[in-house]
Amino acid sequence: MQSELKEQILISLHDVKKTFKTSAGTFDALRGINLNVNKGEFISVVGKSGSGKSTLMNMVTGIDKPTSGEIVIGGKLIHSMSENKISRWRGINVGVVFQFFQLLPTLSIIENVMLPMDFCNTFPMSERNERALGLLKQVGIEDQAYKFPTALSGGQQQRTAIARALANNPSVVIADEPTGNLDSSNANDVFNIFTDLVCTGKTVVIITHDQDIANRCSRTIKLADGQIV
């Protein structure tokens, strides 16, 4: 039974601490985080500004490294990887969605979605266009494929960002305030896309200020002063 439970855990943080050095002294952004997230789980991370939400996201995505502690994702000790290895690992295993979309304005929508495939060389060149179109269809905007980001609404741009995050078929999707820049209708549509992803077996972690969004996830992690409360 214990081994079966262990196999279900996809993300594991053990006593993760992160300290930043500033001109005013040291600041403890994370103070001993212990957290397990199972495969296919849909969780929200909530907390006030400065509670450690974004720092936690940076730990899980490998954008930053902990001062101490262990981070294991899919059996990999990601905190001990080199910068080159962690960059490729993240490109394949983690899809990241940001509040402000982060689309490249000089590329078309379909080119934005293909970019992670090009970066990680994960699919044959001949298949990338078709795969990108399929992902855009999955999020409901395949008819916008050859437009540029500035021609799309905020909701459509966020759908593009989700499609891009799925480009390399990652097991984990991390979304940082994905509905924070959208009206309530578009926010609901985007949330429903994440729900559908969980139904297909993806593990989704949403960082949010929106308590209504948080309440619709299967589990909520609340942070305060760098600790889970």
3-state SS, one letter per residue, for 159-218: HHHHHHHCCCCCCEEEEECCCCCCCHHHHHHHHHHHHHHHHCCCEEEEECCCHHHHHCCC
Task: Identify any residues that bridge with 174 across adjacent strands, giving them in sequence order.
Answer: 96, 205
Average pLDDT, the chain: 91
Structure-block tokens of residue 86: 């962690």
Q: What's the CA gap between 143 and 126, in Å, rounded?
A: 21
User: What Å distances lie between residue 41 and 44, 111, 203, CA to CA?
Assistant: 10, 30, 5
Q: What is the pLDDT of residue 100?
A: 79
Total Cβ atoms within 10 A of residue 105? 8
pLDDT in tens, 37-67: 999 999 999 998 889 998 999 999 999 999 9
| Backbone conformation region of residue 175, classed left if phi is above 0, alpha if psi is from -120 to 50, else beta | beta
Q: What percentage of the chain reaches a pLDDT higher than 70?
A: 97
Read off the pTM. 0.89
Give SS3 for 140: coil
Task: Identify any residues that bridge with 13 across adjacent strands, giving them in sequence order.
Answer: 35, 71
User: What Å distances lie between residue 105 and 108, 110, 112, 153, 166, CA to CA?
Assistant: 8, 12, 9, 13, 19
**Domains, in order of start, for the chain:** 40-65+82-228 (3.40.50.300)
- On the CB side of 210, CA atoms within 13 Å amount to 19
C-beta separation of 30 from 56 below 8 A: yes
User: What Å distances lie between residue 87 and 61, 84, 116, 175, 189, CA to CA?
Assistant: 9, 5, 11, 18, 30
Q: What is the pLDDT of residue 184?
A: 87
Residue in 52, 6, 8, 5 with CA at minimum distance from that of residue 201: 8
Task: Identify any residues that bridge with 175 across adjacent strands, giving them in sequence order.
Answer: 97, 206
Angle subtended by helix axes 154-165 and 184-199, to nearest 10: 20
Total Cβ atoms within 10 A of residue 177? 20
List per-residue pLDDT tens for the chain, 229 residues long: 444 445 689 999 999 999 998 888 899 999 999 999 999 999 999 998 889 998 999 999 999 999 999 999 998 899 888 888 998 899 999 999 987 788 999 999 999 999 999 989 999 999 999 999 999 999 999 999 999 999 999 889 999 999 999 999 999 999 998 888 888 888 888 899 999 999 999 999 999 888 888 999 999 999 999 999 8
Kind and range of the H or E run holding 222 = strand 219-224
